């Protein structure tokens, strides 16, 4: 899976190919349900976060843009957690050992679970990283960000979702 993501990224960079995910978008649809075990062996059940705004982030330890985003997600969990935000990290790494190490190093304050190709397919195919979804309090996907994204834009939309009743 990692090799495919790298190959696709190289095609995008060197050939200037644009990837459109419009046909398979999850926008305004129910987020696919999942139940995973977090790195600390607790259940991460998407349905269990109904009533909260969920920032669902697919990432990997080898993904440079992911490493830039994650400290911001830690800050947002601190700042907005009491207002109803729950960040969930899904690592697409093959081995949990480097994920545990990085999670400790970055002091991640949100659940992190290991993803797989099946979960990636449920979310429209995770061909490049990072991929982040904002899911509203009813479980609907309200925003989808693929690749390196302006964090101010994500935070603006996040704040809007937190304000809605």
Q: Residue 23: inside a domain, yes or no? A: no
1: domain range? 1-10+51-120+128-165
DSSP 56-95: EEEE-TT-HHHHHHHHHHHHHHHHHGGGTEEEEEEE--S-
In a domain, 39, yes or no: no
Structurally, how many domains does the chain consist of?
1
Q: Is residue 24 part of a domain?
A: no
Distance between CA 139 and CA 134 in Å, rounded? 9
More confident position, 84 or 125: 84
Instruction: Please report whether residue 65 resides in a domain.
Output: yes
On the question of pLDDT at 135 being above 70, the answer is yes
Q: What is the pLDDT of residues 87-114, one digit of tens each?
A: 999 999 999 999 999 999 999 999 999 9
Q: What's the alpha-carbon Rg for the chain, to the nearest Å?
A: 15
Please report whether residue 34 resides in a domain: no
- Is 18 among the domain residues? no
CATH number at residue 101: 3.40.30.10
Q: What is the C-alpha separation between 60 and 51, in angstroms, rounded?
A: 28
More confident: 1 or 46: 46
pLDDT at 25: 85
> Does the residue 95 lie in any domain?
yes
pLDDT the model gives residue 165: 62
Q: How far apart are CA 89 and CA 109, in angstroms?
A: 10
Task: Show the tokens assigned to 26.
Answer: 């999850």
The residue-averaged pLDDT of 32-44 equals: 97
Answer whether 0.75 is exceeded by the pTM.
Answer: yes
Residue 112 resides in a domain: yes
């Amino acid at each position: 899976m990692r090799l495919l993501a790298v190959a696709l990224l190289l095609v995008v960079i060197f050939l200037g190919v644009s990837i459109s995910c419009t046909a398979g978008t999850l926008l305004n649809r129910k987020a696919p349900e999942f139940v995973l075990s977090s790195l600390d062996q607790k259940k991460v059940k998407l349905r269990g976060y109904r009533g909260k705004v969920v920032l669902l982030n697919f990432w990997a330890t080898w993904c440079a843009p992911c490493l830039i985003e994650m400290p911001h997600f830690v800050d947002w969990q601190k700042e907005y957690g009491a207002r109803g935000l729950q960040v969930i990290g899904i690592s697409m790494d093959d081995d949990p050992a480097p994920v545990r190490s990085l999670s400790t190093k970055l002091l991640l304050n949100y659940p992190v679970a290991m993803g797989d190709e099946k979960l990636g397919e449920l979310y429209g195919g995770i061909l490049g990283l990072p991929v982040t979804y904002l899911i509203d309090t009813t479980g609907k996907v309200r925003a989808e960000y693929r690749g390196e994204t302006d964090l101010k834009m994500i935070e603006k939309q996040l704040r809007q979702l937190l304000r809605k009743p």
